[in-house]
Amino acid sequence: MFTKEKEIKTMKDFLIGMVCAVCLFVTMTFFMWVCVAGQNAMDKDLWNNGVCACGGEWEFSNASAVHKHGNSYFYFCDDCGDVIELHSPQTK
Ligand SMILES: [Zn+2]
């Protein structure tokens, strides 16, 4: 009797652990997705279809891998000298 109760308790602990692990995984995946989606939205805002706020066009300047989480892509505006940093390369 005692052994069976203990087994049930172990099973319960195991299941609770599994549920926690799955929840954590789902939460982390969700936050990563939100982070990437947010970055893409920011990139899109900055990029503005390749047009600078002054009306000039963004020209590709440089790519660097200084960040841990991927590359940075720099674009500059020939008209006003503005520089933007994007997280993914953009095409016009
Ligand atoms: Zn400009």
Q: Which residues sit with Cβ closer than 5 angstroms to ligand 1, an ion?
A: 52, 54, 56, 77, 79-80, 82
Geometric angle at alpha carbon 44, from 29 and 46, rounded to 5°: 120
Confidence band for 2, pLDDT divided at 50, 70 and 90: low
Is pLDDT of 37 > 70?
yes
Measure 73 CA to ligand 1 centroid, in angstroms.
Answer: 17
Average pLDDT over the chain, rounded to whole? 90
Q: How distant, in Å, are the alpha carbons of 5, 18, 66, 74, 82 from that of 55? A: 74, 54, 30, 18, 11
| pLDDT tens-place string over residues 47-74 | 999 999 999 999 999 888 765 667 889 9
Residue 92 has pLDDT above 80, yes or no: no
